[in-house]
Copies of this chain bind each other. A is one copy, B any other.
Amino acid sequence: MFISKTSEYALRILTYMALNNETQFSAQSLYAELDIPKRYLMRLLTDLSKSGFIKATRGRNGGYVFARPLETIYFSEIIDSVEGLLPFEGCVLGNAVCPVDKPCAMHQIWEKPKQAFLETIKTTTLADLLL
């Protein structure tokens, strides 16, 4: 629930591709492996392609391959491309503008889990899955 369902899907897809280093992955084969609604999966693949994580080739024997080295693809970038990172970096209480001059009592309490989350997604790449 930390991230949106679509972000989860994106991570599932790219994780699978990273771990099963085949020459190419068709939407069909990904559908067979991952538990994601087919049409939604296909649309997501197009999005991930436009975002530059993977590269598509159409037509017979078409499919997807990574467009960049795994070491350069951070989780944060994936999540950012799907749903944006702003909500994760802002106020935990959802205050548009911090209503108090000095950080409120809540701020400190949430600092740890918030930083742990940001730290994780900003320092982990798909290559780290192979370790």
Partner-B contacts on A (CB < 8 A): 1-2, 5, 8-9, 11-12, 15, 19, 35, 87-88, 92-96, 99, 104-106, 109-110, 112-114, 116-117, 119-120, 124, 128-131
Known: A8-B94, A94-B5. A129 touches B105 (CB 8 A): yes
- Contact between chains at A128 and B109 (CB < 8 Å): yes
Chain B residue nearest to A36 (CB atoms) is B94
A122 → chain B, closest Cβ, in Å? 11
Q: Chain A binding site: helix, strand, loop or mixed by DSSP?
A: helix
Known: A5-B94, A35-B95, A113-B2. A11 touches B120 (CB 8 A): no
B residues in contact with A117, CB < 8 Å: 2, 113, 116-117
